[in-house]
Amino acid sequence: MEPSENRFVLKMRVYVEDTDLGGVVYHARYLHFFERARTEWLRDCGIGQKRMREEEGLIFVVTDMNVRFIKPAMMDDELLVSASLSSVGRARFRFEQGIVRKSDGVQIATADVGAAILHSKNYKPARIPAWMKTELERVD
């Protein structure tokens, strides 16, 4: 799952706060990296989550995630975290994500992520708005 032209890629660095005592990225921090890339990808598509909540009364939630840890990332590594949409339903999305070390191109981790849109007041499923589907199809 290497970054390609059709994937959104966010560059980030591993800081000491991301690591364990041995300088290796702590496993739960990868979820933060994946989240940041999805959020920035959505923003790049014109879908701001704050605006979505305030103006549309809608929120995104992660429904499931399958992460595969392949190689360790270390303190000070520069990482390329990718996100791409793999499917869109009426109220659900699936993302494919990957993390590659920039210096040598080594695949660090991959993730298959499910997400849904909910009404922010009652947390019940909501249909993806037409304007959002249009934006998502534009970048797909």
Catalytic residue selected from 20, 44, 64, 140: 20
- Asked if residues 26 and 18 have their Cβ atoms less than 8 Å apart, the reply is yes
Backbone angles phi, psi at 47, to 5 degrees: -115, 95
What three-state secondary structure class fits 42? helix
Nearest to 102 by CA among 31, 10, 37, 27: 10
Q: Can you say whether the dihedral through the CA atoms of 29, 33, 34, 38 is positive or negative? A: positive
20 is catalytic: yes
CB atoms within 10 A of CB 86: 13
Distances, alpha carbon 127 to alpha carbons 14, 90, 93, 119, in Å? 37, 5, 11, 9
- CA–CA dist 136, 90 (Å, integer): 13
Residues assigned a catalytic role: 20
